């Protein structure tokens, strides 16, 4: 299976020019890589999807979030069909920053269903804890529950989806400490997830950067990364991609 590297730009950048430049620089870097081994997905703010779309050819596109609703009177929402119109093939679902804004497991389940029904690939984020201290047993229990609830009513064996293991404390800003998890710990959780949900591709997220990417890439159970802060610097994001492209 190809390694999946997802750039989660979050609420950045602020200008069309910056979005265009960042996307073009990533695209240029991809030209020099063996792209048979990697899938690179850029998830800009939805409003920049049309801009980014015109700046890339090899890089793929994704949404950071979609509505639980497909159409109708839902002010401020963006539907899965709208993001698909702009070429998005992936959607991040259940990011911890959205869970912190009140997104429930039930809403995540609805979104996963909508994404799959539209033939996009969901990237389901799991992980918890604002402190580093949780035991592996507790982490496994919570993560298994989050995935089971996200997939309720869905034939997990027949569908293509990715799970991003992102300990909340490891995320670089906001709720996190800015310290990545230990790569072996992440591989252990990835192995646990894959034993329970064999079809799933498991990637890691949380302060992934150019310095620590190789330690995660060396773990065969970790099949890529979800990159926030470091994906806003094209040269650094490309280093992370290269680490996984060996």
Binding ligand PGA by CB under 6 A: which of 4, 8, 84, 234?
8
Active-site choice (27, 39, 121, 166): 166
Closer by beta carbon to ligand PGA, 2 or else 98: 98
Closer by beta carbon to ligand PGA, 152 or else 179: 179
Binding ligand PGA by CB under 6 A: which of 39, 166, 223, 236?
166
Hey, how many other C-beta atoms are within 10 angstroms of the C-beta on 79?
19
- Look up residue 42 and give its two tokens: 């850029």
The rounded distance, in Å, linking the Cα atoms of 184 and 141 is 18
Binding mask 208-237 for ligand PGA (x = CB under 6 A): x-----------------xxxxx-------
Strand, coil or helix: 125:
strand
* Closest residue to ligand PGA using C-beta atoms: 228
Closer by beta carbon to ligand PGA, 69 or else 215: 215
Q: What is the 3-state secondary structure (H, E, C) of 162-210?
A: EEEECCHHHCCCCCCCCCCCCHHHHHHHHHHHHHHCCCCEEEEECCCCC
Peptide bond into 13 cis (omega under 30): yes
Active-site choice (95, 103, 121, 223): 95
Give me the least distance between CB of 155 and ligand PGA, in Å please: 27
95 is catalytic: yes
The rounded distance, in Å, linking the Cα atoms of 205 and 129 is 14
DSSP structure string for 34-100: -TTSEEEEEE--GGGHHHHHHH-SSSEEEES---S-SSSS-TT---HHHHHHTTEEEEEES-HHHHT
129: left (phi over 0), alpha (psi -120 to 50) or beta: left
172 belongs to the binding site for ligand PGA (CB under 6 A): yes
57 is catalytic: no
Binding ligand PGA by CB under 6 A: which of 207, 212, 241, 242?
207
Closer by beta carbon to ligand PGA, 94 or else 119: 94
Give me the least distance between CB of 36 and ligand PGA, in Å please: 26
Binding ligand PGA by CB under 6 A: which of 151, 205, 216, 245?
205
Closer by beta carbon to ligand PGA, 67 or else 212: 212
Give me the least distance between CB of 172 and ligand PGA, in Å please: 3
Closer by beta carbon to ligand PGA, 39 or else 166: 166
Using an 8 Å Cβ cutoff, are 185 and 224 in contact? no
Give me the least distance between CB of 171 and ligand PGA, in Å please: 4
Q: Residues in the site for ligand PGA, rule: CB under 6 A? A: 8, 166, 171-172, 205-208, 226-230
């Amino acid at each position: 299976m190809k390694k999946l590297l997802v750039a989660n730009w979050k609420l950045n950048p602020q200008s069309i020019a910056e979005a265009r430049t960042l996307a073009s620089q990533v695209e240029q870097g991809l030209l020099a890589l063996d792209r048979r081994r990697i899938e690179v997905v850029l998830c800009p703010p939805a409003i920049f999807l049309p801009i980014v779309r015109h700046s890339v050819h090899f890089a793929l596109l994704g949404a950071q979030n979609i509505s639980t609703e497909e159409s109708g009177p839902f002010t401020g929402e963006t539907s899965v069909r709208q993001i698909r119109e702009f070429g998005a093939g992936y959607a991040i679902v259940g990011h911890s920053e959205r869970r912190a804004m009140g997104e429930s497991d039930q809403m995540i389940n609805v979104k996963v269903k909508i994404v799959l029904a539209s033939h996009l690939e969901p990237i389901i984020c799991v992980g918890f804890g604002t402190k580093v201290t949780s035991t592996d047993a507790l982490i496994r229990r919570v993560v298994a529950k989050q995935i089971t609830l996200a997939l309720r009513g869905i034939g997990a064996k027949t569908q293509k989806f990715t799970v991003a293991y992102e300990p909340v404390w490891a995320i670089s800003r906001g709720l996190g400490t800015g310290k990545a998890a230990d790569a072996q710990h992440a591989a252990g959780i990835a192995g646990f997830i894959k034993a329970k949900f064999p079809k799933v591709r498991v990637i890691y997220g949380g302060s992934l950067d150019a310095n620590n990417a190789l330690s995660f890439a060396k773990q065969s159970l970790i099949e890529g990364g979800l990159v926030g802060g470091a994906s806003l610097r094209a040269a650094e994001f490309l280093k992370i991609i290269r680490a996984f492209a060996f």
